[in-house]
Structure 1
Amino acid sequence: MIPPFPKDTAPQSDSEPFWFLGGRSRILVPGSTTNGALSVMEFLDTAGHAPPSHVHEDEDEVWIVLDGEVSFFVADKRLDLHAGQIAHGPRGVPHSYLVRSETARLAVAFAPSCIEEWFSANGTPATPLDEVPAAFDIGSIVASAEPFHLRVAGPPPTA
């Protein structure tokens, strides 16, 4: 079960939480408030969660581990991080992550912005009463990524 986001981390925007690939997500800073310079999202995932290895052609990505333990895979490097540590996923380089703790909470900055629109368009609204993630169709999500210059580069990482 994924709990709702902690109350002390209320978003600065009007964004509501949504399910994405089995985790709870929300947009904290939309690109519309930064003239497209960057966006910031928050992700709350459970043990074993790992998106497919993928490449962003247009934006750099910075992951900040807020809670938990997460392994980041950037090209052929593995970075095992815990709360308070940061990793960088440069544009054009395959990357992914794997949650190693019971839950993990990440803040993720994208520069420039726009990709947050893809996440929210493929999400399902979440409420504090939800006990399990919403179902999703990975094929549809992957198919919708092309206009955002995002492509799958391989399977999700494993322990």
Structure 2
Amino acid sequence: MSIGLVRNPGDGSVFRYYHSEIEQVVSTTETNGAVTVSRLNMDRAGAPPLHSHSREDESWVILSGRVRFWLGSTSLDKCDVYDAEPGAYIYAPRFVPHTLQPVTTTAEVLVINNPGALEGYFQSIGADDERHDTDHVDLLAEYGVTVLDNPPPA
């Protein structure tokens, strides 16, 4: 049994997800499935479609940049919209629709999923110049994720 974990920025393994870079800060295998934590460097074109999770709660901590969040409805135009600055904490429990997009050119975000496991989806997609989320609806469903609307316009 582990006594704990300390992981500094850059100590985790790095992989590409579409055209974004993700550092796996803490993997689900390191926490016995309790949590997955990733550091995401994203730009406006890296915004995911509006979606919900049936298996995990998701939280974000804004490390740099300014990020807009859409929460709470099955369409972007009916969601509550919030802007989050560096240091902000955002929480979306399972089944709550959400998406996010940098307001600034880029943003660095810590993404926390409880319980862990979703990291397998991100790692299986790999690198690509553009997002193709609708091509992976079946794989997303295997992870309990449902796409509800398009991503915010870049």
| Correspondence for 2:47 among 47, 50, 61 | 50
1:150 aligned to 2:142? no
Partner of 1:113: 116
Root mean square deviation of aligned Cα: 1.9
Report the Cα offset of residue 158 of structure 1.
Answer: 3.9
- Distance in structure 1 (CA, Å) of the matches to 2:119 and 2:80: 25
Report the Cα offset of residue 48 of structure 1.
Answer: 4.7
Counting matched residue pairs gives 141
> In 2 relative to 1, CA 157–135 (structure 1 residues): closer, same or farther, beyond 3 Å?
closer
Which residues of structure 1 form unaligned runs of 5+? 1-7, 125-132
SS for the counterpart of 2:46 is: coil
Q: Report the AA paired with residue 96 of structure 1.
A: T
SS for the counterpart of 1:140 is: helix
Report the Cα offset of residue 17 of structure 1.
Answer: 2.5
> Which TM-score applies when normalising by structure 1?
0.80
Asked if the contact 1:62–1:86 (Cα under 8 Å) also holds between the matched residues in 2, the reply is: yes
Task: Within 5 Å, give how 1:6-155 maps onto structure 2.
Answer: 9-11=9-11, 13=12, 15-18=13-16, 20-75=17-72, 76-124=79-127, 134-135=129-130, 137-155=132-150
> Which TM-score applies when normalising by structure 2?
0.83
SS for the counterpart of 1:73 is: strand
- Structure 1 vs Structure 2: percent identity of aligned residues? 28
Q: Report the AA paired with residue 149 of structure 2.
A: G
Which residues of structure 2 form unaligned runs of 5+? 1-7, 73-78
Partner of 1:4: none
Asked if the contact 1:98–1:158 (Cα under 8 Å) also holds between the matched residues in 2, the reply is: no
Residues 18-66 of structure 1 deviation map (CA, whole Å, 9 limit, x = unaligned): 1x24322121100101110001011111135321000110000001100
SS for the counterpart of 1:109 is: strand
Asked if the contact 2:51–2:149 (Cα under 8 Å) also holds between the matched residues in 1, the reply is: yes
- Distance in structure 2 (CA, Å) of the matches to 1:97 and 1:60: 15
